[in-house]
Every structure is written in C-alpha cells, then in structure tokens.
C-alpha cells in the first residue's frame, strides 16, 4: 500500500478537537490504537512483531540478528501536532518493505522496521525516551519516575500498557543487533522549500535540551491582597519568558522557547502559589548550557524582586550530532545527490547516532511549519520519499 494510503488509514486516530491536529501520547488510547494498527500492517507484510522492554515495537523481515538494517520513526505526537511528524517515517518504511517484496527483493541481512516510544516527550517530558532507554542514555530509575501531567509515572503507565517496569532500561543486546539505522522524516522548517528537491539527506542535528523552572510564591486572594503584599510567581515567570528571547538573541543561531507555563492552582481570582515554566533551548555547538545559565540568573533575579524562589531542573540534554559520514555519502550517491540538510529538530536517529551508523532522509514540507496542524507534505513528495527509502534500504540490506 502506498505511504499516502497508509497515512489515510490513521488519519482519524487521535484527532484533537480542542487544539486541532493530533494528540497521540505514549500509551494513551490513540497511541495504543496506532500501535495495534502498526502490528496488523506489519503482520500483513509477513513481518514478525515484538515489543522490547522499553515499549519500542520491532517488526522483523526474516530472523532477527546482528548487523541489521533498521528503519522507522515514531507514532506519538506533540499536543495538537501534525499528521506527518513520526508517522511519515513509519508508513514510508512499511510501504518500502511492500514495494521491495513486490520486486522480489529478499534482504541479505537482518532487517527491521521500528516504532520508537515517546519520541516527543509529550507525556513524560523527556524526548526520544524509547531510544534513550534502548541506548542507556537515560538512567532507568529516572525514566521510571518521570510523571505525566496527571502525576502518573512512566513505570505505572508502562505496567498498565502491559510492560514490566522492572525491565525498563538499557538494552545492549537489542542495540547490538542494529548495523545501520535510517529514519525518514518530514522536514520541519523551511529548509527544503527552495531547493527544488522532494527529498534531502540529513547532515546534523543541533544540541538541544529541556529545563523546568519552578517558581514558588504565596498563593493568595486576587482582591484582598494589596500589590505590596504579594509574592506572585507569575511575575518572575513572565520576566523569564522575555529574558529567554532577549538572551537567545545575543547567541548566534540560538533557538529558545517557552511553550508551556503552568500556574498552580490556576484560578482567575487566585494569585498562583507556583508557576512551572518549561524551557526548550537549542544552540549549535556547546553554547546551550551557557545560554541556560544566563536565563537561570535572570530568573533568579526576577524571583528575588518579587519575594519568590525558583528552582531549575534539567530534564534532558543532547549534544550536537553529525550523521555518519560514510552513510551520508552512500545515501547521496544512491539517490542522485539530493541536498544535505541540517536540522534544529531532535530525532531518535540522532540518539542512535552515538552508538551505530545512523542517517536521515527528509521529505519536503511546503508550509515550513511543524509541531502544528499546518505541517504538510504533498502526496507526490510522500511517495518520492518512500521510493527513496526503498532504494536505499535495498542497497543497505543486500
Ligand atoms: C522533536 O520533534 C523535537 O525536536 O522537539
Ligand atoms: Mn516532533
Ligand atoms: Mn519526529
């Protein structure tokens, strides 16, 4: 089945009527539906499906073994995300397998399609959680203790989804099977729009991380509390939002975002007792922690001005990644020298790149918008991407 038709099959799963787009979070009902759908489609292609103890799904074409060619992406989304970020890589992999099968190709190497769990960190806060766990890039106890917005831990959610929380963690045996990893993904910025090509080869991923700033003040009455008597944590939080933009402007090519701000208890006539603010910061090279340190100092000064306190917790961090030179060279050669593209978006392929040769293919996104319902790829480009993936998988798995 074509990649576009496969996308069509899941077009109604996890639509978010409030935010628009899709909300599909790790182990929630829509994501479980997508997992089941993936399993059925993979079985239909004669693949053997199993789920590792970190919630990543593997569909093997032939027996599992070392030096495997592995391709895939994720099925979860950000809150109110687009239809392509993640699913495009999964449907393209399934479609590529089917077209290789129809052409009579049989892999000479172990071959798997993988779906990684919680790539967006949309539920438990840490992006690429499935690939971080697989590679041991995150401590298992830390992962088990991560909580969603309702206070449910990752361990509890995993148990409810049928996994043994005690077995969550580094999986060197499974990781050791991967010979090469390739992820196809929708392009998430304007990078491919003017290059005249539906497909690009990934070159680098910018260093990125997430920090939680917790401002604490005094919850109180909005009418009965004089301004002079307040310790309102919303004020330093607001000052921090503007400091993030101001300080990031001073750092070449920095991106820094506050996309989530949660006051507690969150009432119109209530001065908040705490405000949690999440910072996403990304700077090429090694400058991200220094930028975050400047932001932390601005947050502390603003908190002190209002008689509040702030604590800062790093939730995740990944260094710059350069995808494997030899693989990039091969991908470019097999695909007729498409453009190479850096990205500011994070990916499971970038986590795996620290352990195995990994690469990425991007499919043109004419809106240049992602993590939003406006994310898009033309059907013709979706098929060009799936065809490119089939071409390179056939070479890699000979
Ligand atoms: C994932 O898409 C990220 O870059 O946050
Ligand atoms: Mn994403
Ligand atoms: Mn993605």
> Stretch 28-52: mean pLDDT, rounded?
98
Mean pLDDT computed over 298-307? 98
Instruction: Please report the pLDDT score of residue 183 as a whole number.
Output: 99
Give 267's pLDDT tier (boundaries 50, 70, 90): very high
Q: What is the mean pLDDT of residues 68-75?
A: 98
For residue 165 and ligand 1, the question of a CB distance below 6 A is answered with no
Predicted confidence band of residue 84 (pLDDT cuts 50, 70, 90): very high
The pLDDT value recorded for residue 184 is 99
Residue nearest to atom 1 of ligand 1 (CA): 346
State the pLDDT at residue 245. Answer: 98
C-beta neighbour count of 212 within 10 angstroms = 16
Contacts of 206 by beta carbon, 8 Å cutoff, 6+ apart: 253, 255, 282, 283, 284, 320, 342, 343, 344
Tokens of 356: 């195995």
With bands split at pLDDT 50, 70 and 90, how would you rate the model's confidence at 39?
very high
Is 129 in contact with 87 (CB distance < 8 Å)?
Answer: no
pLDDT (average), residues 212-218: 98
pTM comes to 0.97
Q: What is the pLDDT of residues 133-147, one digit of tens each?
A: 999 999 999 999 999
Residue-averaged pLDDT of the chain: 98
pLDDT in tens, 324-358: 999 999 999 999 999 999 999 999 999 999 999 99
CA of 122 to the centre of ligand 1 (A): 10
Calculate the dihedral angle through the C-alpha atoms of 257, 11, 153, 124, rounding to the nearest 10 degrees.
Answer: -20
Instruction: Tell me the pLDDT band of 16, cut-offs 50, 70 and 90.
Output: very high
Instruction: Grade residue 272 by pLDDT with cuts at 50, 70 and 90.
Output: very high
Q: What is the mean pLDDT of residues 229-234?
A: 98
Q: What is the rounded average pLDDT of the residues 213-236? A: 98
pLDDT at position 185 is 98
Cα→Cα distances 318→5, 29, 242, Å? 35, 29, 25
Measured between alpha carbons, how far is 149 from 280 in angstroms, rounded to an integer?
Answer: 18
Instruction: Residue 21: name the closest of 370, 368, 364, 260 by CA.
Output: 370
What is the predicted pLDDT for the residue at 224?
98
377 touches ligand 1 (CB under 6 Å):
no
Question: Which of 74, 85, 345 is the pocket-test mutation for ligand 1 (most atoms within 8 Å of CB)?
Answer: 345
Confidence of residue 148 (pLDDT cuts 50, 70, 90): very high
Q: What is the pLDDT of residue 153?
A: 98
Nearest to 95 by CA among 8, 196, 202: 8
Task: Please list the residues that pair with 153 across neighbouring strands.
Answer: 147
Share above pLDDT 70 across residues of the chain, in percent, rounded to a whole number: 100
Q: How confident is the model at residue 371 (pLDDT cuts 50, 70, 90)?
A: very high
- Residue 173 phi, psi dihedral angles, 5° rounding: -65, -50
Q: Which of 320, 321, 371, 372 to mutate to test the pocket of ligand 1 (most atoms within 8 A of CB)?
A: 371
Strand ranges inside the chain, DSSP E: 48-51, 57-60, 68-74, 111-116, 178-186, 199-205, 208-216, 220-221, 255-264, 270-271, 274-282, 309-318, 321-322, 340-343, 358-363
- Class of 3-206+320-396 in CATH: alpha beta
What does the pLDDT read at residue 290?
A: 98
Q: State if residue 202 touches ligand 1 by the CB under 6 angstroms criterion.
A: no
Q: Once rounded to an integer, what is the mean pLDDT over residues 153-168? A: 95
Residues of the chain with CATH 3.30.70.360: 208-318
Q: Which segments of the chain belong to CATH 3.40.630.10? A: 3-206+320-396
Fold of 208-318: Alpha-Beta Plaits (3.30.70)
Q: What ligand is nearest to the CA atom of residue 349?
A: 3
Which of 75, 78, 205 has most ligand 1 atoms within 8 Å of CB, for mutation?
Answer: 78
Question: How large is the average pLDDT for residues 16-26?
Answer: 98
What spacing in Å lies between the alpha carbon of 159 and ligand 1's midpoint?
A: 26
Quick one: average pLDDT of 98-120? 98
pLDDT band at 281 (very low <50, low <70, confident <90, very high): very high
pLDDT at 313: 98
């Amino acid at each position: 089945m074509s990649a576009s038709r496969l996308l069509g099959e899941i077009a109604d799963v996890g639509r978010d009527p409030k935010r628009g787009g899709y909300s599909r979070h790790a182990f929630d009902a829509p994501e479980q539906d997508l997992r089941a759908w993936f399993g059925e489609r993979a079985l239909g292609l004669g693949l053997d499906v199993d789920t590792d103890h970190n919630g990543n799904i593997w569909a093997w074409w032939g027996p599992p073994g070392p030096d495997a060619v592995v391709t895939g992406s994720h099925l979860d989304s950000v809150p109110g995300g687009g239809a392509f970020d993640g699913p495009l890589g999964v449907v393209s992999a399934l479609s590529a397998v089917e077209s290789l099968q129809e052409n009579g190709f049989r892999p000479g190497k172990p071959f798997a399609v993988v779906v990684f769990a919680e790539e967006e960190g949309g539920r438990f806060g840490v992006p690429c959680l499935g690939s971080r766990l697989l590679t041991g890039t995150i401590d298992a106890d830390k992962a088990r203790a991560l909580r969603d917005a309702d206070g449910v831990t990752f361990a509890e959610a995993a148990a409810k989804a049928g996994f043994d929380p005690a077995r969550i963690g580094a999986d060197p045996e499974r990781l050791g099977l991967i010979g090469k990893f390739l992820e196809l993904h929708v392009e998430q910025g304007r990078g491919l729009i003017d290059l005249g090509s539906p497909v690009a080869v990934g070159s680098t991923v910018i260093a990125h991380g997430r920090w939680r700033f917790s401002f604490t003040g005094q919850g109180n009455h909005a009418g009965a509390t004089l301004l002079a008597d307040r310790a309102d944590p919303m004020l330093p939080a607001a000052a921090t939002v503007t400091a993030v933009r101001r300080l990031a402007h001073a750092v070449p090519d920095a991106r820094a975002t506050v996309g989530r701000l949660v006051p507690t208890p969150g009432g119109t006539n209530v001065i908040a007792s705490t405000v949690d603010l999440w910072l996403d910061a990304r700077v090429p090279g090694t400058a991200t922690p220094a930028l975050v340190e400047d932001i932390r100092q601005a947050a502390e000064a603003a908190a002190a001005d209002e008689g509040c306190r702030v604590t800062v917790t790093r939730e995740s961090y990944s260094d710059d990644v350069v995808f494997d030179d030899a693989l990039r060279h091969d991908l470019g050669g097999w695909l007729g020298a498409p453009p190479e593209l850096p990205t500011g978006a994070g990916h499971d392929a970038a986590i795996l790149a620290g352990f195995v040769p990994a690469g990425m293919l991007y499919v043109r996104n004419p809106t240049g918008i992602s993590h939003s319902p406006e994310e898009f790829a033309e059907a013709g480009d979706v098929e060009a991407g799936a065809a490119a993936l089939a071409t390179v998988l056939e070479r890699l798995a000979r």
